[in-house]
Amino acid sequence: MSDLAMRDYYAKALIALGKVNKDIVVLDADLSCSTRTEKFAKEFPDRFFNAGISEQDCIGMSAGFACMGKTVFASSFAMFITGRTWEQIRNSVCYPKLNVKVCATHAGITVGEDGASHQALEDIALMRILPNMRVIVPADALEAEQAIHFVAKEAGPFYVRMCRGATPVVFNEGECDFQLGKNKVLKDGNDLTIMACGIMVDMALKAADVLKNEHNITAAVVNVSSIKPIDEENIYQMATKTGAFVTAEEHTIYGGMGSAVAEVTAKKCPIPIEMLGVNGVFGESGKPNDLLNKHNLTVQGIVDKALAVKSRK
Amino acid sequence: MLTAKQLSELSNISIRIRKNIIEMTHYAKSGHPGGSMSMTDIITFLYFNWLNIDPKFPKKEDRDIFVLCKGHAAPALYSAMAIKGFLPEEELKTLRSIGSRLQGHPDMKALPGIEMSTGSLGQGLSVAVGMSLALKLDKKKNRVYGVMGDGELQEGQVWEAMMSAAHYKCDNLCVFIDNNKQQIDGNIADVMGVEPLTDKLKAFGWEVINIDGHDFEQIESALVAADKVVGKPTVIISDTVKGKGVSFMERQLCFHGAPCNDDQKAKACSELDIKNGVCGCQI
Ligand SMILES: Cc1ncc(C[n+]2csc(CCOP(=O)(O)OP(=O)(O)O)c2C)c(N)n1
């Protein structure tokens, strides 16, 4: 199956939701063609509001709509809709626990050529630390679509993180069943577990094959799309069963999914963990694949971390 | 007053910059040609007839400071800097590639002569105000210049900075608004209107000058006038055309954040060559 873009499925979900729920409104900040919310705008022009290049106002207006009973989707690039607006999200969305879904596209280093100023590598951390905020990082377009349907039904603030490019399909049609607070074990194994999210999930599956075929190591692969709330029970189970983790995310290693997993193991079941992500630095311009290679966000990068963590067991 | 010779030199440089913009974004297969071309004449005038800068001494004490607030127009800046001598023109080809000094948005750590890293819209003016105040604190004569997008004015921070600049009487600060009346999602007036700009900016305490941003003589007289303003900052609202200089790119939203394809690039370059008199067949 060919690669699919999460943002296209985001738009598909929005339109489906817009048809059945008259209270859905969508806001953007002058990036509606990139985030694909323009598709919703074409279908439901009176329920789409462009804030222009003013992300803070976009979040504030979203809060206002939510106060009046609307279910609000607010979109832009991950950099601007979580960074520029962090305090607005904290005080005007999370504190009053309003029904605003912050849905970002263009997260991570695979933004590519635009460079460091546009590559959000801290957004999971920024959103995860906020009380009342729930954080979802879909592994592929189908999971993104499901997650959007889910958050529309569930009251309160959410952050959904999507990337720019088309990404490999992880789930076959009908196989994906996104559940908030639930990890999904995609492959079983005994020697270690690879906890992955976003575009790293597909690579984790391939890395598990390499580990099996070339190193005779069986690695379990878990999709951690619900980063908050996180599936403590599954983390505990996998830790006791496999005794070592690799976490893999397209995000800084500080404060992201890996940290969320480590917070659980540190408390309940301390085990060696190797974290794969961007090593606390800014990104730069380049082709998405060149950048992934540079930061070892690759199948080989996961394999290397797996071998390292295995030796620490 | 500009002489006929100066005018023709400036015009040739602006054509060369536009051609570089087309070629470098085409080569990178990404970047923002439209908003780079709308501010080309402004950056041409600043770099080749106005700013006190020296590519051999990019950090010299008495230099003027230029901040590209609308950082996505980096191709215009890089190209002007290359022709001025800050970097080899050949290096423009590395735009947006891994390891390049020519980041998608300006990176002051990468390339000497860039005074501030920009790219996130709305932040540049505040920085320029800080620079202006630091220079005043040190009793220095250097001036601070900037170029902002008209869409960029939608960011609230811009208006916070407008207040600060007027409050602190930053008369060593002069910014251009590249008033091309378009942003990504459409015409500014349709997406989020910013007019009446002149009245707003006056009310914010700024000296406001309106010009045609593609007319070197008007750019010059505005800068001369700004130099003489005392006790407040100056904004030069420059009416421009996005994609200016290549017929099929003008006012076309699709060239905001996407380069020419192969055919378009060839066509654009030959249009610019004709303007530059390369094939001598204007008449
Ligand atoms: C804070 C922020 N939000 C969004 C963007 C994405 N963006 C890049 S260019 C652009 C439109 C800019 O319009 P304008 O300022 O009028 O520039 P011009 O049309 O002259 O290129 C947007 C929204 C950004 N760079 N920074």
- Rounded to 5 degrees, φ, ψ at A121 are -120, 5
Residue B281: band (very low, low, confident or very high) from pLDDT cuts 50, 70, 90: very low
Look at strands A166-167 and A184-187 and give their pairing: unpaired
pLDDT of residue B278: 61
Whether residue A123 sits in one domain with residue A26: yes
Domain identity same for A37 and A137 = yes
DSSP 3-state assignment of A250? strand
For residue B144, what are the CA distances in angstroms to A122, B172, B261? Answer: 32, 6, 37
CB-facing half-sphere around the CA of B48: CA atoms within 13 A: 27
| C-alpha closest to that of B84 among B106, B55, B113 | B55
Same domain, A157 and A84: yes
Instruction: Provide mean pLDDT across the span A63-88.
Output: 98
The answer to the question of residue A272 being in a domain is yes
Residue A274 — pLDDT band, cuts 50, 70, 90? very high
- Give the domain range for residue A195: 184-310
- Report yes or no: B187 at the A interface, CB cutoff 8 Å: no
User: A267 and A237, same structural domain?
Assistant: yes
Residues A32 and A155 in one domain: yes
Quick one: A190 and A158 in the same domain?
Answer: no
Q: B283 pLDDT exceeds 60?
A: no
Residues on chain B touching A113 (C-beta within 8 angstroms):
28-31, 96, 104
> What φ, ψ does residue A122 adopt, rounded to 5°?
-125, 0
**Rounded (to 5) percent helix, strand, coil in chain B:** 50, 10, 40
Which amino acids bring their CB within 6 angstroms of ligand 1? A 30-31, 53, 80, 84; B 34-35, 38, 70, 72, 119-122, 149-152, 178, 180, 182-184, 242, 256
Decide if A172 is inside a domain: no
Residues A71 and A188 in one domain: no
| Pair A130, A8 in one domain | yes
Question: Which 8-state DSSP code applies to residue A94?
Answer: I
Distance CA A260, CA A2 (A): 32
Do the Cβ atoms of B34 and B18 come closer than 8 Å? no
For residue A260, the domain's CATH number is 3.40.50.920
What pLDDT was estimated at residue B280?
42
Q: Are residues A194 and A160 in the same domain?
A: no
Residue B23 confidence (pLDDT) above 90: yes
Q: Which residues on chain A are in Cβ contact (under 8 Å) with B25? A: none
**What CATH number did the domain enclosing A149 receive?**
3.40.50.970
pLDDT at A183 over 50: yes
Sign of CA dihedral A13, A18, A24, A25: positive
Evaluate whether residue A68 is within a structural domain.
Answer: yes
Classify residue A121: in a domain, yes or no. yes
Least confident residue range of A16-30, A264-278, B92-106, B263-277 = B263-277
How would you class B283 by CB atoms within 10 Å of its CB: exposed for 0-12, middle for 13-18, buried for 19 or more? exposed
Is the overall model pTM greater than 0.90, yes or no? yes
Contacts of A284 (CB under 8 A, 6+ apart): A115, A116, A291, B98, B99, B103
What would the pLDDT profile of B215-226 be if each residue is shown by its tens digit?
999 999 999 999
pLDDT in tens, A136-150: 999 999 999 999 999
On chain A, the residues whose CB falls within 8 A of the CB of B117 are 117
Whether A178 is covered by a domain: the verdict is no
* Each residue's pLDDT tens digit, B104-119: 999 999 999 999 999 9
The model's pLDDT over A105-139, given as tens digits with 9 standing for 90+, comes to 999 999 999 999 999 999 999 999 999 999 999 99
Share the mean pLDDT of chain B.
96
Binary contact (B96, A28; C-beta < 8 A):
no
Query: How many structural domains are present in chain A?
Result: 2
Strand partners, A77: A105
The residue of chain A nearest to residue B72, with distances taken between CA atoms, is A114
Give the 3-state secondary structure percentages of chain A, helix then strand then coil, rounded to 5. Answer: 45, 20, 35
Map out the domains of chain B with their CATH numbers: 4-276 (3.40.50.970)
Residue B187 phi/psi, 5° resolution?
Answer: -75, 140
The nearest CA of chain B is from the CA of A51 a distance in Å of 7
Residue A173 belongs to a domain? no
Chain A contact for B192, CB < 8 A? yes
* A147 and A270 both lie in a single domain: no
B55, with CB counted inside 10 A (0-12, 13-18, 19+), is middle
Ligand 1, closest atom to CA B188? 16
- B104 — contact with chain A (CB < 8 Å)? yes
Looking at residue B282, its pLDDT comes to 38
- Contacts of residue B87, defined as CB under 8 A and 6 or more positions apart, other chains included, come to B78, B81, B101, B102, B111, B113
A1 falls in which pLDDT band (50, 70, 90)?
confident
Among the candidates A167, A202, A222, a domain finishes at A167
Same domain flag for A28 and A103: yes
A98 falls within a domain? yes
pLDDT digits 0-9 by tens, B45-73: 999 999 999 999 999 999 999 999 999 99
- A30–B184: do the CB atoms touch at under 8 Å? yes
Phi then psi for A276, rounded to 5 degrees? Answer: -105, 130
A93 and A242 together in one domain: no
Residue A158 lies in a domain: yes
pLDDT in tens, A227-272: 999 999 999 999 999 999 999 999 999 999 999 999 999 999 999 9
Q: Is B279 a residue whose pLDDT tops 80?
A: no
Per-residue pLDDT reduced to its tens digit, B118-168: 999 999 999 999 999 999 999 999 999 999 999 999 999 999 999 999 999
Residue A9 clears pLDDT 50, i.e. is over it: yes
Residue-level pLDDT at A173: 80
Report the pLDDT value the prediction gives residue A174, as an integer from 0 to 100: 83
Do A290 and B98 count as a contact with CB atoms less than 8 A apart? yes
